[in-house]
Amino acid sequence: MFRGLLNCIIFIFCISNISAQNSYIPVLVNAPEKNWDEILSPVYDLNDIINIIYNEEEKSELLTEIPSGYPLHADINVNSHYGVRKHPVHQSMKFHKGTDLDGNFGDRVYATADGRVIVVGFEEALGNYIKVQHKYGFESIYGHLQSVSVKKGMFIKKNTLIGKVGATGIVTGPHLHYTIKKNGHYLDPFEFIYMNFDKKDLN
Ligand SMILES: [Zn+2]
C-alpha cells in the first residue's frame, strides 16, 4: 500500500518535470525570431522600423531577411532621391516612390534580402522590373532593368544576381530604380541602403 503510493508520487513528479521541460525548451529556441515577427510585422512608420532594428541585439544576423545594403556591387551613388521631385521626362512635380541609383548598361543587380520573387513584369514608369517579397511585410522593387535572371515564384537569397541595369520604360538614361515597401506603404530606401552592422562604428 505505502510502496504503491510512493511509486505513484514518484510517477507524478516525473510527469510534471517532463511537461515542464517540454513547455520551456521551445520558447527558448524560438525566442528571437518570434519576437521580431510580433514586433516588426505590424509596423510601417520609418522611424518605428529603424528604432526596432537598431535596438535588436540579433540585428546583424536578421538583416539577411530585411532589404538592406546596396543592390549594385559598387560605391553608393544616388542620382535621384525618394520624395517629391520634378520628373526628368514629364517635367512635372511628382512623388518619386524610390531611389535612383547610378549605373551603366549591364551592371549586375543583386537582391537586398532573402525572399520570393512575386512579380516579373513591365510598366512604363518602371520598365522591366522585379518585385521581391520578404519577411515582416517588406517588399523590394528593382526597375528599368535591361535583363532579368529570375522567374516569378522563385525563392532567392540575399545577394542573388537578379538582373542587369538598363534604361527600359520612361527614362533619360541607364540607372536602377530601387523601391522598398512595407505593409503596402512606400519607405525611403536611403536608411536601408546604409544598413550594415558588421562595421563597428554603427553598433
Ligand atoms: Zn526612379
Q: Is the pLDDT of residue 10 over 70?
A: no
CA of 160 to the centre of ligand 1 (A): 22
CA of 51 to the centre of ligand 1 (A): 27
CA of 179 to the centre of ligand 1 (A): 8
Sign of the dihedral through C-alpha 140, 141, 147, 149 = positive
Q: How far is CA 163 from CA 103, 126, 131, 133, in A?
A: 13, 14, 12, 16
SS3 22: helix
**Beta-bridge mates of residue 119:** 131
pLDDT value at residue 7: 57
CA of 124 to the centre of ligand 1 (A): 12
CB 136 within 8 A of CB 68: no
CA of 117 to the centre of ligand 1 (A): 20
Give the rounded percent of residues in the chain with a pLDDT score beyond 70.
Answer: 81
pLDDT value at residue 41: 95
pTM, to two decimals: 0.81
> Rounded CA gap, 54 and 48, in Å?
10
CA of 87 to the centre of ligand 1 (A): 9
> Rounded CA gap, 109 and 85, in Å?
25
62-202 CATH: 2.70.70.10
- Within 10 A of 107 (CB to CB), how many other CB atoms are there? 20
CA of 143 to the centre of ligand 1 (A): 8
Among 53-62, 152-161, 174-183, the least confident range = 53-62
Confidence of residue 3 (pLDDT cuts 50, 70, 90): low
Domain ranges of the chain: 62-202
* pLDDT tens string 78-116: 989 999 988 888 888 889 999 999 999 999 999 999 999
| Residue whose grid cell is 541602403 | 193
Confidence of residue 14 (pLDDT cuts 50, 70, 90): very low
CA of 6 to the centre of ligand 1 (A): 76
